[in-house]
Amino acid sequence: MRIEFARGEGDPTRVFRSMAGLIDAFQRLDGHLAPMLGASVRTSLVLQDIEAASLKSRLRTVIDAIPDEPLQQGDIKKLIGHFLLKGKHTILDWCGERNEISDREDVKRLEADLTKLAHDTDIKLLPAYAQIDTPSLLSDISAVNDAMVPLEKRDRATFASLEGRSSFNPDLVVSGEVIREIVTRERLENTGERILKVKKPDYLGTSKWTFKYGTLTIEAKICDEYWLDNFQKGLVELGPGDSLRVTLYEEVSYGYDNEVVHTEYEVRKVDVVVRGPKGNQIGLIGG
């Protein structure tokens, strides 16, 4: 992995922060690609060398465990290593061909290419290879994208191996909203009265508040402008341990495997402040 940087420009730490982020992202990628060959496959990434002309790191993937299924004869660890390299090149080249990720079918084609690479290893006697998890793949691509944020426009990052050479695409746009759209099959909505324990209020702006909701810690925007305005003017008393009795809107997004992908919360109306164990319930504006 190599970063060529414009000397004497920008934050001097940017190259090191970007390299560290890319190494972390590659470790995550290996962790999601390897199980395609077998659920028991485990890998770790080690640094073999670093050069400073441009910042260049030599990395090696260590195969800590191999599939426990019946396998073909041959150097299994070497085949797994080649697959991981090809997989990373395939993903980087796919990212290099676009400036945004917005089409689910486009992502599924990338997944199909990775599945074909797994089949091409031919390491199993029974050719049953798992598909990579879509949210994990998109999250890993996002991590690669985030790692390049510190770099300046004239900086360049590349990845070279025995399987080829690929460039990192700094112009790729990967937003959390788009990722959720791609992995979401269905949304269910619910509105009801709830009691939310306040963990972190917003005293100045319109940021989301942090609440304790049952066993969950959630973030929710308060859309009750009248109550919020009075709170921020100091007309509502709210102390540590207090809760709010509210009308809460919940939108739950489910993925294609019926897993919960994301939950969005909004406080539509604040009814009362519910004091902690030593306090009393008070009304809209307090006092």
For the chain, the structural domain boundaries read 2-174, 185-274
CATH of domain 185-274: 2.40.50
Q: What torsion, rounded to 10 degrees, do the Cα atoms 97, 100, 103, 107 define?
A: 50
Q: What token pair was written down for 102?
A: 């917005």
State how far Cα 160 lies from the chain centre. 25
What are 100-135's pLDDT values in tens digits?
998 889 999 999 999 999 999 988 877 888 999 898
Helix runs in the chain, H state only = 14-33, 76-96, 104-121, 134-147, 176-183, 225-232
Backbone torsion region of residue 217, taken as left when φ is above 0, otherwise alpha when ψ lies between -120 and 50, otherwise beta: beta
**Mean pLDDT calculated for residue range 244-249:** 98
**Mean pLDDT calculated for residue range 277-283:** 59
**Mean pLDDT calculated for residue range 47-54:** 70
> Helix, strand, or coil here: 111?
helix
> How far apart (Å, rounded) are the C-alpha atoms in residues 269 and 138?
35
Residues with Cβ within 8 Å of 53's Cβ and at least 6 positions away in sequence, in order, are: none
Mean pLDDT taken over the chain: 88
pLDDT at 44 over 80: no
64 or 100: which leads in pLDDT? 100
pLDDT at 56: 83
Q: What token pair was written down for 236?
A: 């509502």
pLDDT at 280 over 60: no
First to last CA, the chain: 62
pLDDT at 43 over 70: yes
What are 154-187's pLDDT values in tens digits?
999 999 998 999 999 999 988 888 888 888 999 9
pLDDT at 286 over 50: no
Find, among 42, 3, 48, the residue nearest to 21 by Cα.
3
Residues with Cβ within 8 Å of 161's Cβ and at least 6 positions away in sequence, in order, are: 85, 89
